[in-house]
A and B are shown apart, each in its own frame.
Chain A
Amino acid sequence: MSSMNQPRKPRPKFLDLAAIRLPISGYASILHRVSGAGMFLMLPLLIWLLQLSLSTTPEGVALFNGITGNVLVRLVLLGLIWAFLHHFCMGLRILLIDIHVGVEKAQARSSAMAVMVVSWVLTLVFGLKLFGAY
């Protein structure tokens, strides 16, 4: 009732993107969108690489090895590996929250943190493989 006596707050509301502080789950959520958009944009590259990896001619195989040997391409693939892993882990989190697992604030925060950490660690593991460390 007290709000009726107060003057109207200025609209629009506080929307200074540079100053807004999101909770960790907010960042995980936005990165879910960013990673999805990135994979969508790179879809033609991935299908092309699939095609080359399955080619039955020596030229096709050589082209596949040449392209995947390029450092820039490998960096793009590293980004896509992170995008996939983040999207995958965050997707599992969304599905769990859908069935009411981890809805509480503390759990939701730690699961968002877990999504970030697990996807970065797995990106490191797959990235080292991609760059031939093992």
Chain B
Amino acid sequence: MGRMVVGAHYGLKDWMAQRITAVLMAIYAVVIFVAVLCGAASSHEAWLAFMRGGLVRVISFLFILSLGYHAWVGVRDIWMDYIKQTSVRIVLHVLTLLMLIGCAGWAIQIIWRL
């Protein structure tokens, strides 16, 4: 069994994930922005029809997953940088995870039941 002596072995993976999720979210943001410019939100009906689209639903789902992971890495790094007391930090990590998983489930449920 390979034993990890130091705790930073997840660094490169998270660094890479942060970049990949950022690029996915940036593309999504531009796509949605262009769609809105083209009238996707010109009325309530148009907005509903747009968000109900099969492809839009799938890319929104991927966006939510990307956002959840990206925010987890970012907020976790903030706690790791400023909260020195381990017990407090662990509680904050757990609360962050719970909030992000809850938000992701909520948002997916909104776009998927449309």
> Does A59 have its Cβ within 8 Å of any Cβ on chain B?
no
> Does B53 have its Cβ within 8 Å of any Cβ on chain A?
no
A59-109: which residues lie under 8 A (CB-CB) from chain B? 61, 84, 88, 91-92, 95, 98
> Does B106 have its Cβ within 8 Å of any Cβ on chain A?
yes
> Does B83 have its Cβ within 8 Å of any Cβ on chain A?
no
Assess A91 versus B110: contact at CB under 8 Å? Given A43-B103, A53-B47, A54-B48: no
Assess A50 versus B75: contact at CB under 8 Å? Given A43-B99, A88-B26, A95-B23: no
How far is A21 from B76 in the complex, measured between Cα atoms in Å?
A: 27
How far is A85 from B4 in the complex, measured between Cα atoms in Å?
A: 39
> Does A10 have its Cβ within 8 Å of any Cβ on chain B?
no
CB 8 Å contact bits of A32-53 with B (1 = contact, 0 = none): 0100110110011001001101
> Does A3 have its Cβ within 8 Å of any Cβ on chain B?
no
A6 partner residues in chain B, CB cutoff 8 A = none
B92-114: which residues lie under 8 A (CB-CB) from chain A? 99-100, 103, 106-107, 110-111, 114
What DSSP secondary structure best describes chain A's contact surface?
helix
B44 partner residues in chain A, CB cutoff 8 A = 53, 61
In the complex, the chain A residue whose C-beta lies closest to that of B70 is: A36
A-B contact count (CB 8 A): 46
Pairwise interchain contact A47-B110, C-beta atoms closer than 8 A: yes
Choose one: A37, A44, A51, A95; the contact of B110 (CB below 8 Å).
Answer: A51
Pairwise interchain contact B103-A56, C-beta atoms closer than 8 A: no
A51 partner residues in chain B, CB cutoff 8 A = 106, 110
> Does B80 have its Cβ within 8 Å of any Cβ on chain A?
no
- With both chains docked as a complex, state the minimum distance between the C-beta of A52 and any C-beta of chain B, in angstroms: 10
How far is A130 from B30 in the complex, measured between Cα atoms in Å?
A: 18
How far is A47 from B99 in the complex, measured between Cα atoms in Å?
A: 12
Choose one: B29, B48, B99; the contact of A88 (CB below 8 Å).
Answer: B29
Pairwise interchain contact B107-A50, C-beta atoms closer than 8 A: yes
5 closest cross-chain pairs (CB), A and B: A51-B110, A36-B74, A47-B107, A43-B103, A91-B22
